[in-house]
Amino acid sequence: MVFDPEMDSTLKLVRFYAPRDLKLVRGEGQYVWDVNGRRYLDCHTAHGVAFLGHRNPWVIQELKRQLDELITASPIFATEVMEEAVKLLEKILPKNLRYFYMLNGGSEGVELALKAARKLTGRTRFISFINGFHGRTMGALAVTWNPRYRKGYDPFPWDVEFLPYNDASAVEREVNDSVAAVIVEPVQGEGGLSVASSEFLKAIRNSCDQHGALMIIDEVQSGFGRTGVLWAHERANIK
């Protein structure tokens, strides 16, 4: 594709999503405004990134404070802010989680979890679920169901079987000693806000334990209190 150098620069951006005829210029709290001054209620929040609101005074204050002290540092060095972040996470994350690795986004987190499962188990087969979404990087895309996203990227780095969501019997039937991990969203975001039943999540947990597989719980969209509890999987009383 050849671009006209005089065209609107925003049109040169590669589009992941269908473009909307709306250009936003600022936000405040739960609202955003377009170039014509029209106000909108932001129910999107950039896929949950801005769920504390736009221009949240506390967030701005802390960002400015950190920028004045240290903008960035290689992960080979310890920093006070990283140590503080780990201490805060330890207070709210499930107590059986003992290690932390800071990444830039959800897809990277899923990639790391999948790689860890493959390394620790020595297995290459994964189970995911119909309508599940876990990211668009190569490994995360492999466990993402939507055929529209997957088209043209075969072969993927590991074998994945997609089972019906909320089907505990399918999990019990298909999880065996060849499975490295089962990855699941307690609430499917892109999949239509389907909520996993406690029976379903417990079946995954028990089947993984029985066959030495890992259970990867993707709470990128459902975590940090968005469902009324800190972590959506806590409702099923599983670890």
Distance CA 141, CA 154 (A): 10
pLDDT-derived band at 15, boundaries 50, 70, 90: low
Distance CA 31, CA 223 (A): 23
> What is the C-alpha radius of gyration for the chain, rounded to an integer number of angstroms?
20
Give the pLDDT confidence score for residue 199 in this predicted structure: 97
| Domains with residue ranges and CATH for the chain | 22-69 (no CATH), 106-236 (3.40.640.10)
Distance CA 223, CA 151 (A): 29
Residue-wise pLDDT tens digits, 44-101? 888 778 889 999 999 999 999 999 999 988 888 999 999 999 999 999 998 888 888 8
Is residue 182's pLDDT more than 70? Answer: yes
Question: What is the distance of C-alpha 147 from the center of its chain?
Answer: 19
Give the pLDDT confidence score for residue 55 in this predicted structure: 95
pTM of the model: 0.86
Residue-wise pLDDT tens digits, 86-120? 999 999 998 888 888 888 889 999 999 999 999 99
